[in-house]
């Protein structure tokens, strides 16, 4: 019984910082209007300043660890590909309906996939990640600062996407060395954040 309470306390402590972030950041993209400077700096900062983007990319890295080795290794590239495709659609003038809701839903579903320890074939997983990140990439492309270099902006948010997704894999790997319950709990927190973004 004591060990169970100890585990619950550690879980609560681990989840608390993320829940505090979620509670104070219900809007999708706070702070983006304040990103100035080169296209590269704006692209690099954009995923970090939007909690929805940050959680989605972390979630992809976390979820990938329960998949095949091929999928796990390629997950950051799948995420970056979805981002690039979405940005390309935005820059090409193709509007996607419900982009903000799609972003929120991707966070919610990614959290559910982590919490439920869902495993899928590599091709299916790749499609899911690309689809999730397509909405995020479209928002990135649409919100590129006026006058910024497109290539520099693209390089910035691609680098940020890869870094955040790899960070998710690192965190997930540490959690899986202990117990899956910690990974599942983090999935629940991410799903709750997605629900807040979508319906809050």
Over residues 87-139, the pLDDT tens digits come to 999 999 999 999 999 999 999 999 999 999 999 999 999 999 999 999 999 99
Q: What domain count does the chain have?
A: 1
Q: Does residue 167 form part of some domain?
A: yes
Q: Does residue 132 form part of some domain?
A: yes
Whether pLDDT at 20 is above 70: no
Q: Does residue 24 form part of some domain?
A: no
Give the total residue count for the chain: 200
Angle between helix 99-115 and helix 122-142 axes, rounded to 10 deg: 150
Q: Does residue 12 form part of some domain?
A: no
Other CB atoms within a 10 A radius of the CB of residue 90 amount to: 20
Q: Does residue 128 form part of some domain?
A: yes
Cα 121 from Cα 110, distance rounded (Å): 16
- Tell me the residue range of the domain where 174 lies: 54-198
Q: Does residue 68 form part of some domain?
A: yes
Q: Does residue 150 form part of some domain?
A: yes
Q: Does residue 153 form part of some domain?
A: yes
> Per-residue pLDDT averaged across 41-46, rounded?
92
Q: Which H/E stretch holds residue 95? A: none
């Amino acid at each position: 019984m004591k060990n169970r309470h100890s585990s619950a306390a550690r879980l609560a402590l681990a989840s608390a910082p993320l829940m505090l972030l979620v509670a104070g950041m219900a809007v999708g993209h706070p702070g983006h209007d304040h990103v100035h400077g080169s296209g590269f700096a704006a692209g690099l900062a954009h995923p970090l300043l939007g909690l929805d983007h940050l959680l989605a990319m972390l979630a992809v890295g976390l979820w990938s660890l329960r998949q095949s080795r091929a999928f796990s290794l390629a997950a950051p590239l799948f995420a970056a590909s979805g981002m690039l495709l979405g940005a390309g659609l935005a820059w090409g003038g193709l509007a996607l309906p419900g982009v903000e809701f799609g972003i929120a839903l991707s966070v919610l579903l990614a959290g559910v996939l982590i919490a439920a320890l869902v495993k899928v074939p590599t091709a299916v997983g790749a499609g899911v990640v690309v689809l999730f990140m397509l909405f995020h990439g479209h928002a990135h492309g649409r919100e590129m600062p006026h006058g910024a270099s497109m290539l520099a902006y693209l390089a910035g948010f691609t680098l940020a996407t890869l870094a955040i997704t790899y960070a998710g894999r690192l965190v997930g790997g540490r959690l899986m060395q202990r117990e899956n319950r910690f990974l599942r709990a983090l999935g629940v927190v991410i799903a709750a954040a997605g629900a807040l973004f979508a319906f809050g």
